[in-house]
A and B are shown apart, each in its own frame.
Chain A
């Protein structure tokens, strides 16, 4: 960047080049980035979303004892996953009331699924009877690997978009010379100028966060994006294993001996871990070669109690139950990576910090959204005939509508699907996802056929109505309506319902602003309509 500044006086001006770079990098990746940002933002409440989407799973009033839960789950796995070489399950914490577990499919050959998964009830240790749903996990997975495409492709696409984002951030900062002064400047009601100010305010307000979240997003998958160093340095499986142990507590199965040996009590091992880290600070149990004389049990530390994702675990002999190794530190670079990773996920956050994450991340979403809309606002004034824009303008405008207003509708439809799809149908979890994409596709078609301004208004109102109706839908289809949740102090359910209304208000405000806005035929005169307060995707017009 220093070298970039050196060439300042030359050519057509660095600021202009950077502005163009910012515009085009932002636009090309913008629609995907908006979706990544919004689904990523709601993922800060992934566990709460999952709870709401499994209403059959009772509210967890007290944290169950991790040691007892672990032992129950191990007994269940012994029945349903016998012969598997690897079991793994997360223990419940304050935010999750079900146990996600997966295991290597016994005798899985090529072409078969290598892992199976199930969710267990911590109280019984048996499979939960709650409805089949991906829950908040869907939004979380979607935000870095999308859907309907191979996971690897999705992750590469997400990485490419994240790189575009990082370039857009840096070039945006260079473009914006008075970044500090302009933060305190907001020119109301000046059309494009106000859009720019809103975009700037949202960007600058969250700049450290936006830069951090984009870079750390790349860090979470860096071994995939930049494998060359590892490929050059490591020649043997042992070297690769040494590297993996710097990154993950997920121990790999060794060659089994074939000699049967019963698994030692896992609750005793979890107790040792509790003594070390605290009663509710145990995160995950991974068992390799259970039932074999080479069994190993790794009990790892939870993610909530420290700002790092680097592995910390206690390794036990699965037959004698003796502690073999305590892994509590990794190298400097690995720890740096662990901290960056944790900063991205924010799982260490308490409630207040989690809300801050959510709000700043929402500002980031709005930054992308206002940027996308600004591209059209800026160019509309120069259109020869606003009723007949050139095809690029037309396409950007319609894609903006579908990716911004349409995504809200699609995400809300996912919740509707969760409440309305019959409980007994096969692959119900996939059906919910299909509802999401079907509705998203429908909004795109709608945006293509309606006049742009009408499409904005109508889709924003539809999103408002659908969001506002979610608590009613919940009250009608479950026995956990809002009033009961509040009376019982169930703030996950009550909070979720109330947030739906908050989002409905936001969308209504946007819809009203678009309705009130009168597009100017000439760039003169002041309109009150530009009095932007929030994300403001509104002032779109045909």
Chain B
């Protein structure tokens, strides 16, 4: 139990880096569909950018002071990406 308390923040960061980072990258690749370009080009742009997002997310997660900050940073970036992704989600927009 004490091991869990001691390693909890580290485990939390590792999860944030690997899975949180991937989720953010995936979200960015969907959000790229909102770019003003044809669908195939937007899809490819999203894919190309996603790995950069992933790396930056991982670096962020381990650079900040606490695991809590790490997660909130990812969430902070996720909000505008979610809004952009919402507009292109099938059925997500009104038009």
Closest A residue to B33 using CB positions: A233
Q: Which of A1-9, A46-54, A95-103 contacts B (4 or more CB under 8 A)?
A: A1-9
| Interfacial chain A residues near B64, Cβ < 8 Å | 4, 7, 11
CA distance A215 to B54 in the complex (A): 11
Q: Are B59 and A229 in touch, CB under 8 angstroms?
A: no
| Interfacial chain A residues near B90, Cβ < 8 Å | 232, 235
Q: Which of A115-123, A136-144, A165-173 contacts B (4 or more CB under 8 A)?
A: A165-173
Interface residue? B82 (CB, 8 A): no
The range of chain B's interface size is: 35 or more
| Interfacial chain A residues near B55, Cβ < 8 Å | 163, 166-167, 170
Q: Are B29 and A17 in touch, CB under 8 angstroms?
A: no
What string of 1s and 0s marks CB contacts (under 8 Å) between A471-493 and chain B? Answer: 00000000000000000000000
Q: Are A18 and B59 in touch, CB under 8 angstroms?
A: yes
Distance between A176 CB and nearest chain B CB, rounded to angstroms: 14
Q: Are B26 and A226 in touch, CB under 8 angstroms?
A: yes
| Interfacial chain B residues near A222, Cβ < 8 Å | 47-48, 50-51
Please pick, from A3, A226, A235, the residue contacting B29 in the complex, using a CB distance under 8 A.
A226
Interface residue? A223 (CB, 8 A): yes
CA distance A515 to B46 in the complex (A): 52
What string of 1s and 0s marks CB contacts (under 8 Å) between B54-66 and chain A? Answer: 1110111011110
CA distance A246 to B39 in the complex (A): 11
Distance between A284 CB and nearest chain B CB, rounded to angstroms: 22
Contact of A331 with B39 at beta-carbon distance under 8 Å, contacts A17-B63, A226-B46 already known: no
Q: Are A18 and B26 in touch, CB under 8 angstroms?
A: no
Output the residue of A17, A228, A234 with the most chain B CB within 10 A. Answer: A228
CA distance A229 to B46 in the complex (A): 7
Distance between B66 CB and nearest chain A CB, rounded to angstroms: 8
Task: Report the number of A-B residue pairs with Cβ-Cβ less than 8 Å.
Answer: 117
Interface residue? A500 (CB, 8 A): no
Q: From DSSP, what is the main secondary structure of chain A's interface residues?
A: helix
Q: Are A18 and B30 in touch, CB under 8 angstroms?
A: no
Interface residue? B37 (CB, 8 A): yes
29 contacts between A and B (CB under 8 A): A1-B56, A1-B59, A4-B63, A4-B64, A14-B63, A17-B63, A18-B62, A163-B54, A166-B51, A167-B55, A167-B58, A218-B51, A222-B48, A222-B50, A225-B51, A226-B47, A228-B30, A229-B30, A230-B47, A232-B33, A232-B88, A232-B89, A233-B39, A235-B90, A331-B38, A331-B44, A333-B41, A334-B44, A336-B48
Q: Are B59 and A170 in touch, CB under 8 angstroms?
A: yes
Contact of A333 with B44 at beta-carbon distance under 8 Å, contacts A7-B63, A222-B51, A233-B33 already known: yes
CA distance A226 to B44 in the complex (A): 10
Q: Are A246 and B29 in touch, CB under 8 angstroms?
A: no
Interface residue? B45 (CB, 8 A): yes
Distance between A267 CB and nearest chain B CB, rounded to angstroms: 34
CA distance A336 to B48 in the complex (A): 9
What string of 1s and 0s marks CB contacts (under 8 Å) between A1-34 and chain B? Answer: 1011001001100100110110000000000000
10 further contact pairs, Cβ within 8 A, besides A222-B47, A232-B30: A10-B65, A219-B51, A222-B51, A226-B26, A229-B42, A232-B85, A243-B40, A332-B41, A333-B37, A337-B44
